[in-house]
Structure 1
Amino acid sequence: MLLAIPYLLTAAICVQLMEDGGPVWLNILVILFIWNAMKFLWIGPVSLVLLAHVRTRERGWTAAQVHQKVAVGNDA
């Protein structure tokens, strides 16, 4: 999510350069920078949710393995 900030800053700089008489092709870069910023803003929360899901499953597996080892140890 934090990686979107440099992209938005660079887009703002390009817009300022165009307003000061810079080349028109900077419009393409502005669109590209904003597109990349949107992708990073979108993937940040999604990746956090996926990571939380995986960590929860890992925690469940380790707890199940511990209970299984305890049960096997009590049988001996």
Structure 2
Amino acid sequence: MNHFDTLVGQQLETMDQLLFLQSEIERCQEIEQELEKLQEKTKLNFLREEILSMKLQLKEIQQTFETQTAEIIRTYQATVS
């Protein structure tokens, strides 16, 4: 079960990264709305690039999370069998 516990720990760290990045994206989207109201085009373009970059990072982390989930399931099934 030690390997299983290690995998679960790694997945919990990945979950923390996911949650943090999602909250950052939401925060940036709120700022984006404010910049649109203020018509700050230069800052708005920079922020949109940052949001896009974070969304790409989020997608990569989500894929890692899915891979970890599959590995955890395989490891658990191997220890139970």
TM-score by length of 1: 0.56
Q: How does 1:1-76 map to 2 (within 5 A)?
A: 1=29, 3-11=31-39, 33-74=40-81
Please, which runs of 5 or more residues in structure 1 have no aligned partner?
Answer: 12-32
Once the two structures are TM-superposed, the CA of residue 55 in structure 1 deviates from its matched residue by 0.8
Question: CA RMSD for the aligned pairs?
Answer: 1.8
Partner Cα distance (1:7, 1:39) in 2: 11
Amino acid at match of 2:72: Q
Amino acid at match of 1:49: L
Higher RCO structure, 1 or 2 (CA under 8 Å, sep 6+): 2
Once the two structures are TM-superposed, the CA of residue 7 in structure 1 deviates from its matched residue by 1.7
Aligned residues: 53
Off by >6 Å, runs of 4+ in structure 1: none
Bigger radius of gyration: 1
% of aligned pairs identical?
A: 8
Amino acid at match of 2:31: L
Please, which runs of 5 or more residues in structure 2 have no aligned partner?
Answer: 1-28
